[in-house]
């Protein structure tokens, strides 16, 4: 075991004018995660510390936060890879509820804007089941594991600059999967929706979303695919 200093941002918008920072020393064991360390702080040193978590397995996406300045899932981030001093802060681009816990409403509101649900065509018999050997799912399979953790949204500079004026990488990736689905009945409508003034053309491909995604999804690739489909539709090509 070794001693590690965990510095955590503290902020209660109902009481504080600006954030402050508290530091805690813990005994770090092998394979201990940042989330484990926060639980230790709550249990042994300061029960008032607030943060979000649920599954502790990297599946729910609830424990997203900034760790040493980078967006990560706290439950999948091991302390042994971070050194002797760790800084923990709330995700960007979302209002703080308290300490490291943020209000995810801006993220999910952007998700709702692209109509993230499947709209079937009137006649779907031909495509109701996609044969695994057809190759038609290849374009979306690698982007279908999003756990809506919001890490790409919080890291996106376009969101930081434009706020709700940009839909955001997670929602655009979801829109891409629906637009690419041949069984989808609202492809054209959704393509127009995400290529408007707050859609894909506001993305400047900085790449921060790719770096932080815990599932290896590449929103820049899907955003470029949407741009290409819009261009083909505009000039009358099959898209």
CA 51 vs. chain centroid, Å, equals 17
Q: Are residues 25 and 138 in the same domain?
A: no
Q: Are residues 76 and 170 in the same domain?
A: no
pLDDT digit string (tens) for 130-179?
777 777 777 788 788 999 999 999 999 999 998 888 999 999 999 999 99
Domain assignment of residue 44, yes or no: yes
| Average pLDDT of the chain to the nearest whole number | 92
Q: Are residues 32 and 53 in the same domain?
A: yes
Q: Are residues 180 and 131 in the same domain?
A: yes
Helix (H, G, I), strand (E, B) or coil at 52: coil
Q: Between β-strands 2-10 and 85-89, what pairing exists: parallel, antiparallel or unpaired? A: parallel
pLDDT digit string (tens) for 188-216?
999 999 999 899 999 988 899 999 999 99
CATH number of the domain bearing residue 147? 1.10.1060.10
What is the pLDDT at residue 132?
73
Q: Give the residue-averaged pLDDT of 33-57.
A: 96
pLDDT digit string (tens) for 49-98?
999 999 999 999 999 999 999 999 999 999 999 999 999 999 999 999 99
Q: Are residues 47 and 87 in the same domain?
A: yes
Domain assignment of residue 229, yes or no: yes
What is the pLDDT at residue 144?
87
pLDDT digit string (tens) for 223-233?
999 999 999 99
Let me know the angle formed at the C-alpha of 215 by 212 and 217, rounded to the nearest 5 degrees.
75
The residue with greater pLDDT, 146 or 182, is: 146
Domain assignment of residue 143, yes or no: yes
CA 126 vs. chain centroid, Å, equals 34
Residues 6+ apart with CB under 8 A from 61: 73, 147, 148, 149, 150, 151, 214
Domain assignment of residue 239, yes or no: no
Q: Are residues 160 and 134 in the same domain?
A: yes
What is the pLDDT at residue 136?
72
Q: Are residues 64 and 147 in the same domain?
A: no
Q: Are residues 161 and 144 in the same domain?
A: yes
Domain assignment of residue 20, yes or no: yes
What is the token pair recorded at 123? 């006649």
Q: Are residues 196 and 82 in the same domain?
A: no
Yes or no: say if 57 and 75 are a contact pair by the CB < 8 Å rule: yes
CA–CA distance, 200 with 169 (Å, rounded to integer): 9
Other Cβ atoms less than 10 A from the Cβ of 1: the count is 9
Total residue count of the chain as it appears in this document: 239
Position 182 pLDDT exceeds 60: yes
What is the pLDDT at residue 127?
55
Q: Are residues 110 and 86 in the same domain?
A: no
What is the pLDDT at residue 6?
98
**Domain finish residue from 102, 125, 143:** 102
**Domain finish residue from 55, 79, 102:** 102
- Name the residue range of residue 140's domain: 105-234
Helix (H, G, I), strand (E, B) or coil at 172: helix
Q: Give the residue-averaged pLDDT of 99-127.
A: 87
Domain assignment of residue 46, yes or no: yes
What is the pLDDT at residue 134?
74
Per-residue DSSP letter, 164: G
What is the pLDDT at residue 181?
87
Q: Are residues 95 and 120 in the same domain?
A: no
What is the pLDDT at residue 156?
96
Residues 6+ apart with CB under 8 A from 1: 27, 28, 29
**Domain finish residue from 41, 71, 102:** 102
Position 122 pLDDT exceeds 80: no
Q: Are residues 86 and 124 in the same domain?
A: no
Yes or no: say if 107 and 28 are a contact pair by the CB < 8 Å rule: no
The values of phi and psi at residue 21, to 5°, are -135, 135
CATH number of the domain bearing residue 18? 3.10.20.30
What is the pLDDT at residue 183?
85
What's the N-to-C CA distance of the chain in angstroms?
A: 57
Q: Between β-strands 101-102 and 2-10, what pairing exists: parallel, antiparallel or unpaired? A: unpaired
pLDDT tier, 123 (very low <50, low <70, confident <90, very high otherwise): low
Q: How many domains are there within the chain?
A: 2
């Amino acid at each position: 075991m070794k001693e590690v200093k965990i510095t955590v941002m503290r902020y209660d918008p109902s009481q504080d004018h600006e954030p402050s920072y508290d530091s805690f020393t813990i005994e770090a064991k092998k394979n201990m995660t940042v989330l484990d360390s926060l639980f230790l702080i709550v249990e042994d040193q300061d029960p008032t510390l607030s943060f979000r978590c649920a599954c502790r397995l990297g599946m729910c996406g609830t424990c997203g936060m900034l760790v040493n300045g980078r967006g990560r899932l706290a439950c999948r981030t091991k302390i042994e890879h971070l050194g002797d001093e760790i800084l923990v802060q709330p995700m960007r681009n979302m209002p703080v509820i308290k300490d490291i816990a943020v209000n995810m409403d801006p993220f999910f509101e952007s998700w709702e804007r692209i109509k993230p649900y499947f709209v079937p065509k009137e006649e779907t018999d031909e495509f109701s089941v996609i044969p695994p050997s057809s190759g038609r799912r290849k374009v979306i399979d690698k982007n279908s594991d999003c756990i809506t953790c919001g890490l790409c949204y919080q890291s996106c500079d376009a969101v930081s600059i434009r706020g709700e004026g940009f839909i955001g990488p997670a929602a655009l990736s979801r829109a891409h999967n629906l637009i690419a689905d041949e069984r989808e009945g609202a492809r054209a409508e959704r393509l127009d929706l995400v290529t408007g003034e707050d859609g894909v053309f506001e993305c400047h491909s900085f790449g921060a979303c790719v770096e932080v995604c815990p599932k290896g999804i590449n929103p820049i690739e899907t955003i470029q695919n949407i741009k290409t489909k819009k261009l083909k539709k505009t000039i009358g090509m099959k898209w």
